[in-house]
Structure 1
Amino acid sequence: MKEQLRACIRKGIEGCIADGTLASATAPAIVVEKPSHPEHGDFATNVAMLMAKGEKKAPRAVAEIIVAKLKGSTELVDSVEIAGPGFINFRIKPSAWRETLNVISGAGAEFGKSTVGRGKKVQVEFVSANPTGPLHIGHGRGAATGDAVASLLEAAGFEVQREYYINDAGNQMNTLGLSVLLRYRELLGQQVDFPENCYQGAYIKDIAADAVKAYGDSYLQVSEDEGVAFFAKYGGNVILKGIEDDLAAFGVRHDHWFSEQSLFDDGKVPAAIEEMQEKGLIYEQEGALWFRTTDYGDDKDRVVVRSNGVTTYFASDIAYHRDKFGRGFDWVIDVWGADHHGYVPRLKGIVQGLGRNPDDLKIILVQLVSLLRDGVPVAMSTRSGQFDTLKEVVDEVGRDAARFFFLMRRSDSQLDFDLELAKRQSTDNPVYYVQYAHARIRSIFEAAQEKGVTVDLSAPQLDLLQTAEEMSLIKTLATFPETLESSAVNFEPHRITYYLQDLAAQFHSYYNKSRVIIPEEQQLSNARLFLLHCVAITIKNALTVLGISAPERM
């Protein structure tokens, strides 16, 4: 609707330019917005105020010229008026709003999708948890966010690849290997001193027990270095398989799993460092190599290779992002925990050092989740083993509720996850409230047939939809494509959850007040059923893009 109105305004301004009533050479960029107060109309534009200086006229005078041209020139606009210093307010004809329903029904599962992305190649890298322990609830929020952002971008016409970066190099893997080795020795009767800095969780004992079954006491006699290396790889593979299984159960898939270790095995880390040295971005000082991150807004330069020759995580990140952009992506999106916010300038520096626009790298920060059980926060620590895993949460509340709750707030704001609310089958539970709206509509169609109403959605008399509640529902449905597009380009899936809750509330209120099934008025029944049919399509499409089901019955 906005696009149609924008085109109508542009055509009117171009007509004014052509007949000489406006002196400008071309029409400016036209912004159409929804007024904050409904009594001001459906849409408003400030285009007259933008043109006033060039026209050497008062904004209201410019607005009067534009309005005179628009009046009676379109089937879209019911009324147009000037307000304040020069705003132009529009009311759209009810018939034009109602026509939205035919668009929705005709598009079906495609309603809401757009081509704004124009096939631009985007990579979304998310979760990327160290393979040293099961995914916890914080990882779950990142997983839901990254997956929803990827789906939104796909719906907006982008070509998207989902990637998981496996942190399988570095000291944390050695710690994992030592943890499993010590538990392995313990299970085979040796007395061990288990360090506090090792991973304490019961899952380590489970991995060690499986190793005993598979290998017996074969690794009791090997050196500690050999044992640590073996169990680091063995334990990492077991944990990674568990992560993959947990993500699949959560409805999250990755197109590509990228190993950090492969950057070293394939020589990509030294190659990236060499390139940056040639560009003068990496320099040597006191035997170490440093990246000039202060050139890109960081508070200090960062070590890439320590004086003992050991590389830092930053070296891997340079090589990894060099590899990403080398694969031809237009945008690279990283979904990180909010505690990494200070790392953003460094990564932007890498991208700029690679000769790319730093804005080609998008960082989505995901804040912490506070998990409550009976009002008491649950401690989460991979190393101590005191945490609620993502699997435990999904098993308890269900995949749909978990995903919806993770996406209910901006990703960069803290989230309280109420387990009891997520399980409750009542209107207090937002995901239940939305899903029930879809299921309720399906039951209404079944009830219509039972009451002898012939359901015919082929040619409904839409002019019978005249109540304020009906028009409000239609207008909300019409905003879905814009909501989806803005959610995609701003990487904000919470906008869809807000939209769904608003739409569901409007539907439930309308149905509680209005008779939909009226056997003695077949045409009105069909018009109202058609409206609900379009509500159901929109709810299902919005839930689908979030990776949440739309039940037929509840």
Structure 2
Amino acid sequence: MDIKQQLIAAIGQAATKAIADGVFVAGHLPEIALEVPPQKEFGDYATNFAMQSAKAAKMNPRVIAQAIIDRLNEPWLDKALLAGPGFINFYLKSDILYQDLADILAAGENFGQTNAGQGQRVQVEFVSANPTGPLHVGHGRGAAVGSALVNLLRVAGYQVEAEFYINDAGNQMDNLAASVNARYLELMGKTADFPADGYHGKDIIDTAERIIDKHGDKYLSMPEAERLAAFKEVGLKEKLAALKEDLEQFGVNFDVWFSERTLHNSGSVAATCELLKANGNIYEKDGALWLKSTAYGDDKDRVVIRDNGVPTYLAADIAYHRDKFARGFNKVINIWGADHHGYICRVKAAISAMGYNADNLEVMILQMVSLYQDGQLVKMSKRTGQGVTLSELIEEVGRDAARYFFIMRSTDSQLDFDLDLAKTHSNENPVYYIQYAHARIASIFRQVADAGLPVPAAWDQIKLELLTEQAEIDLIKKMAMFPEEVASAACERAPHRIARYAHELAGLFHTFYNQCRIIGVAPDLQAARLALVTAVRATVKQSLGILGVAAPDKM
């Protein structure tokens, strides 16, 4: 149990004693919440528990607070003080901080791992872009956030599967085939009508050129239906391979690639509709089959099978989510773009209609990304005159900067991506600032090695109590908070919290580095400070690892 949980338990025990002593009545007491005060003079932690309890206890919150303080007797607590209308400020003994540092050193690069998830099985589905062209910047945000969330959940003790849903059925694939067909015919000197909903990217021309290089005029003599079917398969295979390559380049890997086609070919879509018919949640109207989604909170009922017998996208999505829950996940997390916000209610309604708990589906909505360069909004690629692709962005700013900038803001806020800042090698660039902290520590140990100075073989023999400077204490306190930060960020599905934490920790380290000499001080103090920066290095590396960002030893 970490110190924060120990303190929460101690407050609860003190409140129970006060109730038993008749100081105040139990009532319905609130959950005990602790926060780190913004100013050091207000202690290490503070709580407003007494103020939150006042109504239920029918008593002045200051009386409740004092009753709790009087019943606290913990060996690691230096003092607890009543403040304001009923706050309690807690001051920890310095010994507990040194034990925290010793624990961090013992954990090494595994520091921060928790069992908050208790082994729950979670599926995270993200990106799931149509395999009809290259990934763009919006997909990049989903890829970075999704993969960071997967990393975060794993460190927090969840069993996680990352999944990509391949939209390889439906109109978009027909449009891909028709687009490739039109470009093929044009390149072969034939007249071709480009489809109204076709794909105009240069990658479509590239695909047609590769078909010609390999097969020449082979497809000209084919009936158009056969040619379209062939080009659909060629296009899908090529676009999917390019998509996977872009994601791997971005440090994103999936455990499962799930094909939408399999839902249709296996009969899963039809079977799911039959299930919903059987339980009374599908009805027929005007020759179509409708889901009774209004019975489960949707604003209107939805068509699942059109009057021509063709399933809607929703029908496949319902079958897909049925398949997800049949695989036994405790939670299913979908990361969708802002344009899918209105789709949430109908999918949750369908999940309820199938008899599953719709609360076990969580949908994270990603707001839009805007690129800026020289203070101006960038909409088009200089190379193609079309939208900026993910691969172009990586080429421009690098993988680490792209990932960090995509993750550093909450998913529910629009992201203004400053290309100039992302390329800057200065402290103003947050990812550079964090990576420089790790590289600086690596440089310290290179200097130690070059000077032939001793590095302790066992950190538990170090006199950590020599670390008394405020910059040192601040670093230890910040690192001690990391496991809780991981657990909270995982619970909130908020990887941006880790990005913020890493930046704050790096700031404290740079302050320490500028204020406290490490090499050349008294041997015991030097060893203690080397222990401290070893712990910082491990914590920074774990933080960056969650974000999918490298922790370089040289910059």
**Taking structure 1 as the reference length, what is the TM-score of the superposition?**
0.94
Alignment of 1:19-98 (within 5 A): 24=26, 29-49=31-51, 52=54, 57-70=59-72, 73-98=73-98
**Cα deviation, residue 44, structure 1:** 1.9
1:10 counterpart residue number: 12
Q: SS at 2:372's partner residue?
A: strand
Alignment of 1:158-197 (within 5 A): 158-197=158-197
State the distance in 2 between where 1:522 and 1:50 align: 50
Q: SS at 1:177's partner residue?
A: helix
Q: SS at 1:65's partner residue?
A: helix
State the distance in 2 between where 1:261 and 1:23 align: 62
Q: Which one-letter code corresponds to 1:66 in the other structure?
A: I
Q: Which one-letter code corresponds to 1:409 in the other structure?
A: R
Q: Which one-letter code corresponds to 1:206 in the other structure?
A: D
Structure 2: gaps of 5 or more residues: none
Q: Which one-letter code corresponds to 2:539 in the other structure?
A: T
2:377 counterpart residue number: 377
Can you list the C-alpha shifts for 1:303-355, whole angstroms capped at 9, x where unaligned? Answer: 21222222211111111111111111111110100111111111111121122
1:533 counterpart residue number: 534
**Cα deviation, residue 40, structure 1:** 2.1
Q: SS at 1:193's partner residue?
A: coil
State the distance in 2 between where 1:399 and 1:116 align: 30
Q: Which one-letter code corresponds to 2:214 in the other structure?
A: A
Are 2:104 and 2:111, in contact at CA under 8 Å, matched by a contact in 1? yes
2:200 counterpart residue number: 200
1:141 counterpart residue number: 141
Q: SS at 1:553's partner residue?
A: coil
1:282 counterpart residue number: 282
**Cα deviation, residue 197, structure 1:** 2.9
State the distance in 1 between where 2:10 and 2:452 align: 44
Are 2:24 and 2:58, in contact at CA under 8 Å, matched by a contact in 1? no
**Cα deviation, residue 174, structure 1:** 0.6
Q: Which one-letter code corresponds to 2:96 in the other structure?
A: A
State the distance in 1 between where 2:28 and 2:17 align: 10
2:416 counterpart residue number: 416
Q: SS at 1:33's partner residue?
A: coil
Are 2:27 and 2:56, in contact at CA under 8 Å, matched by a contact in 1? no
2:463 counterpart residue number: 461
Q: SS at 1:420's partner residue?
A: helix
**Cα deviation, residue 295, structure 1:** 2.6
**Cα deviation, residue 127, structure 1:** 0.6
State the distance in 2 between where 1:25 and 1:339 align: 46
1:482 counterpart residue number: 484
Can you list the C-alpha shifts for 1:369-401, whole angstroms capped at 9, x where unaligned? Answer: 1123444433369xx971222112112222111
State the distance in 2 between where 1:366 and 1:50 align: 34
CA RMSD of the aligned region, Å? Answer: 2.2
**Cα deviation, residue 53, structure 1:** 5.6
Identical positions, percent: 50
Q: Which one-letter code corresponds to 1:5 in the other structure?
A: L
State the distance in 2 between where 1:37 and 1:277 align: 61
Can you list the C-alpha shifts for 1:442-469, whole angstroms capped at 9, x where unaligned? Answer: 1112223444643324422122111222
Q: SS at 1:32's partner residue?
A: coil
**Cα deviation, residue 255, structure 1:** 0.5
In the superposition, relative to structure 1, how do residues 268 and 380 fare at CA in structure 2: closer, same or farther (>3 Å)? farther
1:503 counterpart residue number: 505
Are 1:202 and 1:385, in contact at CA under 8 Å, matched by a contact in 2? no
1:150 aligns with 2:150: yes
2:220 counterpart residue number: 220
2:547 counterpart residue number: 546
State the distance in 2 between where 1:84 and 1:276 align: 59
Q: SS at 2:160's partner residue?
A: strand
Can you list the C-alpha shifts for 1:126-178, whole angstroms capped at 9, x where unaligned? Answer: 11000100111111110011111111111111111111000011111111001
Are 1:114 and 1:155, in contact at CA under 8 Å, matched by a contact in 2? yes
State the distance in 2 between where 1:205 and 1:61 align: 77
Q: Which one-letter code corresponds to 2:131 in the other structure?
A: P
1:515 aligns with 2:523: no
In the superposition, relative to structure 1, how do residues 172 and 533 fare at CA in structure 2: closer, same or farther (>3 Å)? same
State the distance in 2 between where 1:551 and 1:350 align: 47
Q: Using the TM superposition, name which of 84-93 and 112-121 deviates more.
A: 84-93
Are 1:426 and 1:433, in contact at CA under 8 Å, matched by a contact in 2? yes
Q: Which one-letter code corresponds to 1:539 in the other structure?
A: V
State the distance in 2 between where 1:373 and 1:263 align: 44
Alignment of 1:312-351 (within 5 A): 312-351=312-351
Q: Which one-letter code corresponds to 2:529 in the other structure?
A: R
Structure 1: gaps of 5 or more residues: none
Q: SS at 2:109's partner residue?
A: helix
Q: Which one-letter code corresponds to 1:414 in the other structure?
A: Q
**Cα deviation, residue 117, structure 1:** 0.9
**Cα deviation, residue 228, structure 1:** 1.3
In the superposition, relative to structure 1, how do residues 466 and 273 fare at CA in structure 2: closer, same or farther (>3 Å)? same
In the superposition, relative to structure 1, how do residues 254 and 108 fare at CA in structure 2: closer, same or farther (>3 Å)? same
Q: SS at 1:416's partner residue?
A: strand
State the distance in 1 between where 2:469 and 2:213 align: 71
Are 2:175 and 2:195, in contact at CA under 8 Å, matched by a contact in 1? no
State the distance in 2 between where 1:252 and 1:78 align: 47
